[in-house]
Amino acid sequence: MVDHFLHLRMHVSLRLWLGRRDYLRAYELIARLSYLNPASVKNIAGLDTLLPRLKAQILAQLANGIAEVERLAVFGIEDIESFETELRDLGLKPHIAVLAGEALTGGESPETTFAFIRDEAMRQDLIDAGHAPGLVVSARDIEVNFPL
């Protein structure tokens, strides 16, 4: 009975966190629910769209957490405007500019640029161009798997 009660309360909490667009906390609850009863996770509405939003929220929080970052250079994403809108909705601070990585010029300081790459092979090119290794994050670095 205790497990059933916990299961019900976590489902209520999950709906609340999803409604608040806090996908990190929602993911944590999904992992806990999966531990209690793996079958109960498969019926959660919107689970298919949660993973990309979760990754975007992780990226936004990483950029926010690094002092002196002025821009987020995104490599490998075609629709920068909608990607920026999603990042802003998920908490990216307004002072951080989002731009296509290909639009970077030599005048921008790599020490204040946080770079997101889709292709891991680009990491060394950016490091060679002066970016600090800790300021280059790949899609693989923020990979999240659902406990299904």
User: Please, which residues bridge with residue 112 across strands?
Assistant: none
Which structural domain range is residue 116 located in?
A: 50-138
Strands (E), 4-142: 71-75, 97-100, 113-117, 136-138
pTM reported for the whole predicted model:
0.84
pLDDT tens for residues 73-117? 999 888 999 999 999 999 999 999 999 987 776 667 888 899 999
Q: In this predicted structure, what is the pLDDT of residue 62?
A: 94
* CA–CA separation, 131 and 127 (whole Å): 5
Q: Tell me, yes or no, whether 61 lies in a domain.
A: yes
Q: Tell me, yes or no, whether 35 lies in a domain.
A: yes
Give the pairing of strands 113-117 and 71-75: parallel
Residue 129 has pLDDT above 90, yes or no: no
* CA-based max dimension of the chain: 63
Residues 79 and 119 in one domain: yes
Residues 62 and 114 in one domain: yes
Q: Tell me, yes or no, whether 9 lies in a domain.
A: yes
The residue among 81, 80, 76, 79 whose CA lies nearest residue 125 is: 76
Token pair of 54 as six digits: 């979760």
Residues 11 and 77 in one domain: no
Residues 29 and 101 in one domain: no
Residues 58 and 37 in one domain: no
Q: Tell me, yes or no, whether 23 lies in a domain.
A: yes
Residue 148 has pLDDT above 60, yes or no: no
